[in-house]
């Protein structure tokens, strides 16, 4: 009898401690579900692979603080399984809204269905998913990555309009399977295919990082001695590639023309120095709009399914002008 009672008490104690453990988020914050009336936002970030990502994280953290929300922030270190784990943890903690920037496009339906069953609204930020079931999320806020690729292609077409010889291009792609890598590649290819003189002679992932950008550019340079243009899917890979080009005794921006995407400060500095020739902007400042969307969906309001970010492009002259005021 005594043994049975002691067993029941132990089981109860274990249940209490298990529930308490579920309440701990990735950063160690306690609680969830807005006990003190604050909106609780669970955000699962891709990682810290680039200057863009760092600026995006800062924008989200600062905007959440300004809005007076409790932010449960998780860094997936570039791994989809970590993001899925974080989303499940947000569901267990009963946050008010879940937002995330998907590492890759596919493989989200199961976990998003779990959020839907738990009646927790989800907002996609920065990157899309490729699910046919649009009911799995309330809204997607971010750039048009295909358009970014097209803008890069259009600059190239204009720059080489009088050229009659083949133009040899190498491409540094972003993370395989990520929306910006897929779309920036597709948009660029669509524009340049109109003229057969444009030849992509090598295209490989540089994982959106400076280190990989440098390493892959070294490989490109070792196996191709006639590279005219580098198209990098972000500034960081372009900046890494610049190091490789200089180490090979070539002049970036002159011997090899460079086009990148993002327009973060380091990229814009290289552009103003003529080491990069053209940058297509991709804004990381999604925080303020995300907070507004989160509040509306938490209140049961209706939001736009697609919120597009406004973006531009920069030449070296324009970079010089805007650099002193650049926020990121
Ligand atoms: O999803 C946005 C992309 O991800 C940025 O262009 C790149 O720098 C980042 O890592």
The answer as to whether 265 is a domain residue is yes
Clarify whether residues 274 and 150 are in a common domain: yes
Q: What is the largest CA-CA distance in the chain?
A: 94
Residues 62 and 161 in one domain: no
DSSP code at position 252: B
Ligand 1 centre distance from Cα of residue 236 (Å): 9
Residue 327 lies in a domain: no
The ligand 1 atom at the shortest distance from the C-alpha of residue 235 is 8
Cβ pair 238, 216 in contact under 8 A: no
Regarding whether 98 and 83 lie in a shared domain, the answer is yes
Enter the tokens of residue 275: 């080491």
Residue 158 lies in a domain: yes
Q: From atom 3 of ligand 1, which residue's Cα is the shortest distance away?
A: 180
**pLDDT in tens for each of the 328 residues of the chain?**
333 333 333 333 333 333 333 333 443 333 345 567 899 999 999 999 999 999 999 999 999 999 999 999 999 999 999 999 999 999 999 999 999 999 999 999 999 999 999 999 999 999 999 999 999 999 999 999 999 999 999 999 999 999 999 999 999 999 999 999 999 999 999 999 999 999 999 999 999 999 999 999 999 999 999 999 999 999 999 999 999 999 999 999 999 999 999 999 999 999 999 999 999 999 999 999 999 999 999 999 999 999 999 999 999 999 999 999 998 9
- The string of DSSP codes covering 102-115 is -SSSSS-HHHHHHH
Distance 74 CA to ligand 1 centre (A): 17
Write a three-state SS string for 220-264. HHHHCCCCCEEEECCHHHHHHHHHHHHHCCCCECCCEEEEEEECC
Q: Which atom of ligand 1 is nearest to 127's Cα?
A: 1
Q: Has residue 27 been placed in a domain?
A: no
Residue 134 within any structural domain of the chain: yes
- For the question of whether the overall pTM of this predicted structure is more than 0.85, the answer is yes
Question: Both 82 and 131 in a single domain?
Answer: yes
Residues belonging to the chain: 328
**Residues forming a β-bridge with 203:** 171
User: 120 and 207 share a domain?
Assistant: no
Strand 313-314 relative to strand 278-281: parallel, antiparallel, unpaired?
antiparallel
Same domain, yes or no: 125 and 245:
no
User: What is the CATH number for 224?
Assistant: 3.40.50.2300
Is the same domain home to 233 and 160? Answer: yes
Q: Is 74 in the pocket of ligand 1 (CB under 6 A)?
A: no
Q: Give me the pLDDT at residue 34, please.
A: 53
Q: How many domains does the chain have?
A: 2
Q: Does 77 share its domain with 200?
A: no
Ligand 1 geometric centre to CA of 208 (Å):
7
* 178 CA closest ligand 1 atom index: 1
Q: What are phi and psi of 118, to 5 degrees?
A: -85, 0
Interval between CA 267 and ligand 1 midpoint (Å): 13
Q: Return all residues near 179 (Cβ < 8 A) that are at least 6 apart.
A: 102, 105, 127, 128, 145
Look at residue 273 and tell me if it is in a domain: yes
Query: Would you say residue 32 lies in a domain?
Result: no
List the domain range (segments joined by +) for residue 268. Answer: 145-282
One domain, residues 214 and 289: no
Residues 50 and 88 occupy one common structural domain = yes
Ligand 1 atom nearest residue 236's Cα: 8
CB count within 10 Å of CB 323 equals: 14
Looking at the structure, tell me whether residues 55 and 120 fall in a common domain: yes
pLDDT of residue 285: 97
- Please tell me whether residue 133 adopts helix, strand or coil conformation: coil
Dist CA 221 CA 207 (whole Å): 18
Counting from 1 in the atom list of ligand 1, the atom nearest the Cα of 101 is 1
- 253 and 289, same domain (yes or no): no
User: Is the CB–ligand 1 distance for residue 287 below 6 Å?
Assistant: no
Instruction: Report if residue 160 sits inside a domain.
Output: yes
Q: Measured in angstroms, how far is the CA atom of residue 282 from the centroid of ligand 1? A: 8
């Amino acid at each position: 009898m005594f043994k049975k009672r002691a067993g029941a008490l132990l089981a109860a104690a274990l249940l209490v401690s298990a529930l308490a453990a579920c309440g701990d988020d990735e950063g160690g914050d306690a609680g969830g579900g807005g006990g003190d009336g604050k909106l609780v936002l669970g955000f699962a970030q891709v990682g810290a692979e680039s200057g863009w990502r760092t600026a995006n994280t800062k924008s989200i953290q600062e905007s959440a603080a300004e809005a007076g929300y409790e932010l449960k922030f998780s860094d997936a270190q570039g791994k989809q399984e970590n993001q899925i784990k974080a989303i499940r943890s947000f569901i267990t903690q009963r946050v008010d809204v879940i937002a995330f920037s998907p590492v890759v496009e596919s493989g989200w339906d199961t976990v998003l269905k779990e959020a839907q069953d738990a009646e927790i609204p989800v907002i996609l930020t920065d990157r899309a998913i490729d699910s046919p079931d649009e009911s799995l999320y309330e809204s997607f806020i971010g750039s048009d990555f295909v358009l970014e690729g097209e803008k890069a292609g259009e600059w190239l077409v204009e720059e080489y309009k009088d050229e009659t010889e083949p133009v040899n291009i190498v491409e540094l792609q972003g993370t395989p399977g990520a929306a910006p890598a897929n779309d920036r590649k597709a948009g660029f290819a669509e524009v340049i295919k109109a003229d057969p003189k444009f030849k992509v002679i090598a295209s490989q992932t540089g994982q959106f990082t400076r280190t990989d950008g440098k390493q892959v550019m070294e490989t490109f340079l070792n196996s191709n001695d006639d590279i005219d243009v580098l198209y990098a899917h972000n500034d960081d890979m372009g900046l890494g590639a610049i190091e490789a080009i200089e180490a090979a005794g070539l002049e970036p921006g002159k011997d090899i023309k460079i086009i990148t995407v993002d327009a973060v400060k380091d990229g814009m500095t290289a552009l103003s120095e003529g080491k990069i020739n053209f940058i297509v902007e991709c804004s990381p400042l999604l925080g303020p709009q995300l907070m507004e969307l989160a509040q509306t969906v938490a209140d049961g309001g209706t939001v736009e399914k697609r919120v597009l970010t406004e973006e531009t492009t920069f030449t070296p002259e324009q970079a010089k002008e805007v650099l002193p005021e650049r926020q990121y």
